[in-house]
Amino acid sequence: LGCSRFWYLCSTWMYAFLSEFYPCCLLVHPIVQLLESAYRFFSCSNLGGSACLCSFYCIKIANFRNRFFIYLKVKIDRMVPWLLLGSVVLSLIIGILVYNTVDKAVGKNLNFTCQESLQKATIGIEEHFFPLYFLTGFLYTTSFIAVIFSAVFLLFSLWRHKHKMQTNSTSSLSMEAHIRAMKSILSFFIMYSINFMFLILTLIYSLKHQNHVIFLGYTIQ
C-alpha cells in the first residue's frame, strides 16, 4: 500500500508538471501513454489496497456475534491475499486499457502542431475513454463504500466496548487506548473521504478541459 501510494503521487506530479510547463514532452512516444497508464494503475491499486486492509482490520478487531461475521473472522486471513491480488490484477487491466486508448488517440494526431496535437489527442481520448471512466469510477466508489462500512462498524464496536469498560470500571489506560484508536479511524476516514471526493472531481473536470481545477485537485490529493 505504501509503495502504490508513493508511485501514485510521483506519477501524478510528473504528469501535472509536464502538462503545465512542458506540454510538448507529452507527445514523445510513449511518455504520455506510460504516465496515464501508471497513474490509473497506482490510483486503483492504492484505493483497492486501502479498502481490503480496512475490511481486514474491521473484521479482525470488531466484535459482533453475527454468524456471518464470525465466519468472515475465521476465513479473512486466507481471503485478504486473494482480494489484494484481485485488486492489483484489475488495476493492471485498467492500466493496459488506458495505455491502448491513449496510444490510439495520440497516434492519430502526429501531423499537427504541439498545441493542436494535445487538444485533438485529449478529445480523442475522451471519445474512447468514457467506458474506462465509468469502470474507474465504479472501482473508486466500491472501494470507498468498503472503507465507509469498515470504519462505521469498527467505530461502533470500539464505542460499545468503551461503554462496557466504563460500566465495569476498567483501567484508564485501556480506555485511553480505545479512544485513541477511535480518533485514528475517524481521522483516516475524513482524509480518505476528501481524497475520494477530489478523485471524482478530477475525473469530471478532465472531461471539461479545465486543467487548473485538475491541478488543484491533484495538489489537495
| pLDDT reported for residue 92 | 92
What average pLDDT does this structure show over 194-200?
Answer: 80
Residue 151, pLDDT > 80, answer yes
Residue 8, pLDDT > 80, answer yes
Q: Give the residue, 29 or 41, on which the prediction is more confident.
A: 41
Q: Give the residue, 120 or 137, on which the prediction is more confident.
A: 137
pLDDT, one tens digit per residue, over 58-73 is 888 887 888 888 888 8
| pLDDT reported for residue 169 | 64
Cell numbers placing 96: 493496459
Q: How many percent of the chain have pLDDT more than 90?
A: 2
Confidence category of residue 89, pLDDT binned at 50, 70, 90: very high
Q: Give the residue, 74 or 214, on which the prediction is more confident.
A: 74
pTM for the model: 0.73
Q: Any idea which of 113-122, 138-147, 182-191 has the lowest mean pLDDT?
A: 113-122
